[in-house]
Structure 1
Amino acid sequence: MWHVGIDLHHQTLVVAAVHDSGEVRPAVHLQTSETQAIRDLFVDLRPFQAVIEATGTYRWLHDLLAPMGTVLLAHPLRLRAMIVRRAKSDRLDAQLLANLLRLDRIPLAYVPPAHYQMLRDLVRYRAHLSRQIAHAKTQLRQLLARQNIQPPYRSPFGPRGLYWFSRQDLGCVGNSMRDHLIERIELVQRQLAAVDGQMTAVSEQFPQIEALTDLRGIGLFTALLVVAEFGEVERFRTARQAAAYTGLTTRVYQSGDTRRTGHISKQGSPWLRWALVEAAMKLVTKDAKLASFYHRIRKRSSSKIARVAAARKLAEICWKRLRRWHRLHDRPVIAAA
């Protein structure tokens, strides 16, 4: 069998291969636009297993090669921690991936199934639109603050509030900025409405969200985002592993009698961390147990640490609920260790 390392970039990729017998094929440089040449190259290498370092653009290549052989994804952070080199090039990177794959030393990253990837793209785009609106609203408030103007509404971004904004005189440049920001808010709001309709239709493919929407403070969007980012809950054996995946667990240094805990690792989906923190702060006002946990942590540390701790606790709750849903509906779940 051929073991193939692929160093992928936006416009080019380098392919290096090593056989079980020790035979080495020289690295091949290709353009990403040459999909037929890429397919022909891997047809000649069958049977093969290939590895791609995880990037934001790996999916198309994974889907192209998966029908022909085994395609794995390398975890970039763990891969760099394993390797110390004096020289780096695309050819050396591809050869290194191929040799590590032959030795079965590749630190693997998760490749979500196609339907989970589709859901990830949708909810992340929705979150991106929400952040655009929040940024535009912040800029509008800054324009008012510069002129020492106080809005007459508690939330001045509804139809009446935006009309009030449009009637204020903020100067030549300020008026132009205000008009552009109002246009941006109205445009993104229309886009959000369209995406929300699409999410409602897509939610029928993910009935497990009912296990999360029962929680006060978690709506359709947050439930879909949690399901999309967790992916297949069967891959986590314990709630601790699921929480670690979110990046909300603390770093630990232990040597001899010395043990220190640091900040959270942040090694996980930033979208999932953001959604869990936002949902946790809503849930602590409505759920007695989580509120008690939050206030207990807050008394001995700070509100920021308590907020993150509540988000981690919510991550464990979400995973347990999703796993229970899969068990009740006869979905395969790995037993907890």
Structure 2
Amino acid sequence: MLDTTTFVGLDVHARSIKAVSLDVMTGEVRCATFGYDAGAVAGWVRSVDPKAKCVYESGVTGFDLQKRLSGLGVDCVVGAVSKMIKPSADRRRKNDRNDAEFLARMLSVGNVVEVWVPDDECEAARDLTRALEDARDDLSRSKQRLSKFLLRHGLVFDERTPTGRRKGNWTRAHWSWIESIRFAEGADNEALAYYVDAVRRAAEDKARLEGLVEAETRKPRWRRRVDSLRCLKGVDTATAADLVFEAGEFSRFRNARSFAAWVGLTPSEHSSGESDRRGAITKAGNKHLRKALVEAAWHYLTCSARPKEPARGQAPDPGARRHAAKGVRRLVERRGTLLARGVHNNKANVATARELACWVWAVGLMAEEA
């Protein structure tokens, strides 16, 4: 049982916070408005009830307010917005006060699913891997813009090797071809120089962030888990870092199924009575990891079932390494079975990604508890 009778809902925005407190014993409701000032909110909460418990919805404001309030001695949690049960009647009377009061009432009856809040080191590591993903996207966009600029001018790279095989894009030969291009109009040459510079800068940013991520994974807190997850085929250092940093602690998930659900790789369901229907994956939860796992799963289309040899300097937990080898064999067999049944390649890959997520949880947990 909670040792408080006062619950505070916070509707948090970039520059303002609406707070509503609810005393469940008397039914008294109080309301206050603040700027984005954790100190002012903490002072008001203490004046209402020093033992009050606060909540606000997860969103773009992140965990900053929760950490500040906790540092000031105020009990505050972050509620999962996707799990909030809101009456349809409230859709036409939405405002900050009603939203804050709704959160307070949900917290008072235990209907708030709390989000796990990472510490500062874990959140900083997450930010680094997400910055790397942004850098990859920027590089891809820059290359696309350059290639389509050249295509608009009828220029397509089509050099071939002596055996007749077409040379790939973004190779040394491709760059030599780009650097040899000259347009009649000066403006076109300036545009080309801009697009080329954008690609090179994006490539440099990506390489720099990859180095920073790799350095982060060598810290004692992460190294054993990262090295253990790298024993799974399709999981390199960057992907393992994504998995470890985003999960934070694998032990916070009850089982492998709950981890797969958290990344949105479980099938959707619409069943009632004797009808039992399952559809596409839910795509609910951590889309950053879902993308990484789906990309990693493609390796099991062509890889062998042999265990993955550790790289130089890699020091996985022995038990986790043996379990990862078992997982590789299972995933290769599973992928082959799906293809033999005639399952579409993309659907088979998502099914493999879901099972890969379960093996990731198991291997990560073993390394975490070692």
TM-score by length of 2: 0.81
The correspondence of residues 1-337 of structure 1 with structure 2, limited to 5 A, is 1=4, 2-22=6-26, 24-32=28-36, 34-44=37-47, 45-67=49-71, 68-80=73-85, 84-85=89-90, 86-146=92-152, 147-152=154-159, 154-158=167-171, 160-169=173-182, 172=185, 175-203=189-217, 204=219, 205-207=221-223, 208-288=225-305, 289=329, 290-298=331-339, 299-327=341-369, 329=370
Q: Unaligned stretches of 5+ in structure 1? A: 330-337
Read off the aligned partner of 1:150 and give its amino acid letter: F
Paired with 2:61 and 2:184, the residues of 1 have a C-alpha distance of 44
Q: How far apart are 1:104 and its partner, in Å?
A: 1.5
Structure-1 residue corresponding to 2:315: none
Instruction: Kindly provide the CA deviation profile for residues 148-206 of structure 1, in whole angstroms up to 9, marking residues without a partner as x.
Output: 52243733324553342232246756544432222122212222233223222211130
2: CA distance, partners of 1:215 / 1:123:
19
Change (3 A) 1:249 1:82: farther
| Alpha-carbon spacing, 1:148–1:253, altered in 2? closer, same or farther (3 Å) | same
Cα RMSD, aligned residues only: 2.2
Alpha-carbon displacement from aligned partner over 1:190-238 (angstroms, at most 9, x marks no partner): 2223322322221113021111111233111100101122221112222
Contact 1:65 1:71 in 2 (8 A): yes
SS in 2 for 1:326: helix
Q: Any unmatched runs of 5+ in structure 2?
A: 160-165, 306-328
What TM-score do you get using the length of structure 1 for normalisation? 0.89
Deviation sequence 1:63-120 (CA, Å, 0-9, x none): 1111313221111122155664141100010011111111212133332233322221
CA gap of 1:18–1:123, structure 2 versus 1, over 3 A, is: same
The residue identity in structure 2 corresponding to 1:125 is A
Write the deviation string for residues 46-73 of structure 1: whole angstroms up to 9, x where unpaired.
2221111001213210111113132211
Task: Please say which structure displays the higher CA radius of gyration.
Answer: 2
CA distance in 2, matches of 1:240, 1:275: 18
**What is the letter of the counterpart of residue 61 of structure 1?**
L
The Cα shift of 1:322 comes to: 0.7
> What is the CA–CA distance in structure 1 between the aligned matches of 2:283 and 2:366, rounded to whole Å?
27
Query: In the superposition, relative to structure 1, how do residues 162 and 39 fare at CA in structure 2: closer, same or farther (>3 Å)?
Result: farther
Confirm or deny: 8 A CA contact 1:212 1:318 kept in the other structure: yes
Aligned partners of 1:143 and 1:170 also within 8 Å: no
Q: Following TM superposition, by how much is the alpha carbon of 1:260 offset from its aligned partner in structure 2, in angstroms? A: 1.1
**The residue matched to 1:314 in structure 2 has which SS?**
helix
Conserved? CA contact 1:166–1:178, under 8 Å: no
- Measured in 2, the distance between the counterparts of 1:26 and 1:100 equals 16
Contact 1:73 1:108 survives alignment (8 Å): yes
CA contact (8 A) 1:144 1:150 kept: no
Q: CA deviation at 1:18?
A: 1.3
Mapped partners of 2:104, 2:68: distance in 1? 19
